[in-house]
Amino acid sequence: MDALGLARLQFAVTTSFHFLFVLLTLGLVTLVAVMQTRAALTGNPVHTRMTRFWGRLYVVNYALGIATGIVMEFQFGLNWSGLSHYAGDVFGAPLAMETLVAFFLESTFLGLWIFGWDRLNKWVHLALIWLVTLTAYASAFWIMVANAFLQHPVGHEERDGVLRLVDFSALVGNPLFGMAFMHVLLAALTVGGVFLTGVSAYHFIKRTQEVDFFRRSLRLGVVVTAAVTPLLIGVGFGQFPIIGEFQPDKTADVSGAAGAGLGFMIQAGMVLLLVSWLTVPLLIRDWVIRMRFPLYLMVIGIPLPFIAAIGGWLFRELGRQPWLVYGLLRTEDAMSDVSRDGMLFSFVAFTTVFAVLAVADWVLIARLARRGPVEAPTPVSPLVPAL
């Protein structure tokens, strides 16, 4: 494989890893905010315990997700300097908004939420988790604005061989942005719902004593999954006419890796829809927690939305090739002047770092999830010392 192939493979691997962290973060923070809202309104201690337990898992994933994001950002300078030179004035604008407005605010609000337990008024503390949620969505908003520009460049003009931003509103109004952004949010909610469902089902398989705790968690996860998955599939298919209008080659030829990604996305989505809708009626009866077969299905189903998400990303990104900025900048022209050996070293190093972070995340989350809510105090990440 030549240097260009290694650079593309490296970006595909690292962005795929990071995307999985982002989806679980967005999905979990929304559900944690719902749990804390119910706790504040009802005063029921089980909702408070749910908030602390699931919040702890969210914080672990968030912390390690940030690390993967920081590592991934180095690739733009190391491997794709041509993109920064040619389109940095336009492409960099939404990325700057994501960093300065969304990410910094999100981190600040999250820090106050983490260390504000039992210190802040409950309504102030509740407001903080909703601010964390909204700024997390804002972060995804600006990232998708930047990605939509790569898919369909708008709001620019070319001067002296480079692109200059002339209409910021055109970036937000990009026809390839709106439904794609909604698709990501629905995918994140699906991931969060399936994760909640699977972990709760695992504890029922293990005959947990926390029946009320995990019954409520299981119901919330299944209801969210069943409600969101049809919308997710609908929005996904709804993008095809728009993609066909602006990127006819992508929809005309779905062979190769892009077509395989589309097949994985559709199949995993349909299985999720079937399982979630079959499970909802069972939750009306409490005896479902004594049935092992549907519980095993819920646990096995945890990877499905992740597989579907990666499939959708492959279709969206690989189907754009050979363009990095569609119709304006080819991928080969955007690559930095790096030798094959240098790129191979970079690929191995980056992949190793991401693999270590991913394994650490999964091990920590699995350990905390198996432990259950008994030892789940304030949701502080193990990476952040408690006060």
In this prediction the pTM is: 0.87
Average pLDDT along the chain: 82
For residue 306, name the pLDDT band (cuts at 50, 70, 90).
confident
**How do residues 187-196 score in pLDDT, each as one tens digit?**
999 999 999 9
pLDDT value for 376? 46
pLDDT value for 380? 54
**CA-CA distance, 153 to 146, in Å (whole number)?**
9
CB distance 289 to 211 below 8 Å: yes
**Type of residue at 158:** E
pLDDT value for 206? 85
**Residue 362's Cα: distance from chain center in Å?**
15
The answer on pLDDT for 256 being more than 60 is no
pLDDT value for 96? 85
- In angstroms, the Cα distances linking 165 to 83, 94, 96, 260, 326 are 14, 11, 14, 35, 16
- In angstroms, the Cα distances linking 74 to 30, 69, 70, 344 are 29, 9, 7, 15
Q: Which segment of 59-68, 129-138, 151-160 scores lowest on mean pLDDT? A: 59-68
Q: Count the neighbouring beta carbons within 10 Å of the beta carbon of residue 76.
A: 18
pLDDT value for 134? 93
pLDDT value for 154? 92
pLDDT value for 254? 54
The phi, psi pair for 91, rounded to 5°, reads -65, -35
**How do residues 210-244 score in pLDDT, each as one tens digit?**
888 988 998 899 889 888 888 888 888 888 888 87
**How do residues 268-285 score in pLDDT, each as one tens digit?**
655 666 566 556 555 545
**Type of residue at 270:** M
Q: Count the neighbouring beta carbons within 10 Å of the beta carbon of residue 12.
A: 16
The answer on pLDDT for 71 being more than 70 is yes
Average pLDDT for residues 37-66, to the nearest whole number? 91
DSSP letters of 137-181?
A: HHHHHHHHHHHHHHHS--SEEEETTEEEE--HHHHHT-TTTHHHH
Give the rounded percent of residues in the chain with a pLDDT score beyond 70: 85
Average pLDDT for residues 142-154, to the nearest whole number? 91
Give the residue carrying structure tokens 């299981």. 218
pLDDT value for 384? 45
Which residues are 264's β-sheet partners? none
The answer on pLDDT for 362 being more than 60 is yes
The answer on pLDDT for 267 being more than 70 is no
